[in-house]
Amino acid sequence: MAKLDDRTIANMEVALEKACSRFPNGGDHESRKYVAQKLMLSAKKGNTTLGGLDVVAHRAVQELSKSKSA
């Protein structure tokens, strides 16, 4: 498992908070966990910029929204 640097972790936290702010009360545990897992996978593949992680988090929120409305 690749170790993530402090900047990447900070970027992941910002992307998670920004994306989950779209949920009521910042999202439930399972929703936040899903978004966080998507961020971890992406960061481990080398996507470590805030912009790139924002895109991943936004897509994860969209996936959750679609699955809950289906």
Q: What is the pLDDT of residues 3-37, one digit of tens each?
A: 899 999 999 999 999 999 999 999 999 999 999 99
pLDDT at position 3, please? 84
Query: Is residue 16 a contact partner of residue 55, using CB atoms and an 8 Å limit?
Result: no
- Percent share of the chain, pLDDT over 70: 96
Mean pLDDT of 51-60: 98
State the sign of the Cα–Cα–Cα–Cα dihedral 49, 60, 13, 34.
Answer: negative
* Distance, first Cα to last Cα, the chain: 35
* Mean pLDDT confidence for 46-62: 98
